[in-house]
Amino acid sequence: MTKLEVLYEDNHIIVVVKPVNVLSQADATKDLDLLTMVKQYIKEKYHKQGNVYLGLVHRLDRPVGGVMVFARTSKAASRLNEQIKNHRVQKEYLAIVHGVLKKNGHFIDNLLKKEDGNTIVHPKGKRSELTYEVVDVDEKRKLSLVKVHLLTGRHHQIRVQFASRGYPLLGDMRYGRGEKIGIALYAYQLSFYHPISKELMTFTKMPTDKIWTVFK
């Protein structure tokens, strides 16, 4: 089993790093998923009998790694879900995109998730918004490193909003150029208010996979 990296835990929440290519929760593939891994960790560490409660309050796409928080009680889950609904949970991503971005930007689109699992820009879609900051540019390879701040959390949002403007993510097999190198998208920072103490908490984990060495 993949070793679980725990950034923080108490009786109410647990914050972990989702490895690249691990599911957030189980699907039809029956492959190992993070929700099951965290439940097993809690069961073993605290010698829990029977089923372990663990609330999934947000997800990351399978190929995307990064910081995730899980709720250890139903009250914590409810309060974290309320924060997400009210845009009080801040999600920051790093991405490498094809093309040279000259300045910071702000994208607003209507995104529609189709039955085949793809997401497209469509008038009948849901309002989707993000801002980004250009961190570095590789003029020779025509690549840009950006920090992305999600203002909404739609299916494949970052990938589709950049790709639809001609800046597909490096390594994006679905919306990009088909490079089989893993996707250059990572949820490096998560901020939220503790569901019980109300303290603002921020957790950061930088990516270490080979794809990110382009900008080392």
Tell me the pLDDT band of 1, cut-offs 50, 70 and 90. low
27, 33, 61, 209: the catalytic one is: 61
| Domain extent for 196 | 5-215
Q: How far apart, in Å, are the Cα atoms of 23 and each of 60, 116, 139, 154, 176? A: 8, 18, 34, 17, 21
Alpha carbons 87 and 71: distance in angstroms, whole number: 18
Q: Pick left, alpha or beta for residue 12 (phi over 0 → left; psi -120 to 50 → alpha; otherwise beta).
A: alpha
CATH at residue 41: 3.30.2350.10
At 85 the three-state DSSP class reads helix
pTM to 2 decimal places: 0.94
Tell me the pLDDT band of 165, cut-offs 50, 70 and 90. very high
- CA-atom Rg of the chain in angstroms: 18
The answer on pLDDT for 52 being more than 60 is yes
Paired residues of 127 in beta bridges: 110
Handedness of CA 62, 110, 172, 100 (dihedral sign): negative
The reported pLDDT for the residue numbered 50 is 87
Query: What's the whole-number average pLDDT of the chain?
Result: 95
Q: Is residue 61 flagged as an active site residue? A: yes
Task: Domain count for the chain, please give it.
Answer: 1
Residues 6+ apart with CB under 8 A from 3: none
Residues 6+ apart with CB under 8 A from 171: 96, 179, 180, 181, 182, 183, 184, 211
Structure-token pair, residue 162:
């950049």
pLDDT, tens digit (0-9, with 9 covering 90-100), for 26-37: 998 889 999 999
> What percent of the chain shows pLDDT beyond 70?
100
Average pLDDT of the segment spanning 174-190:
95
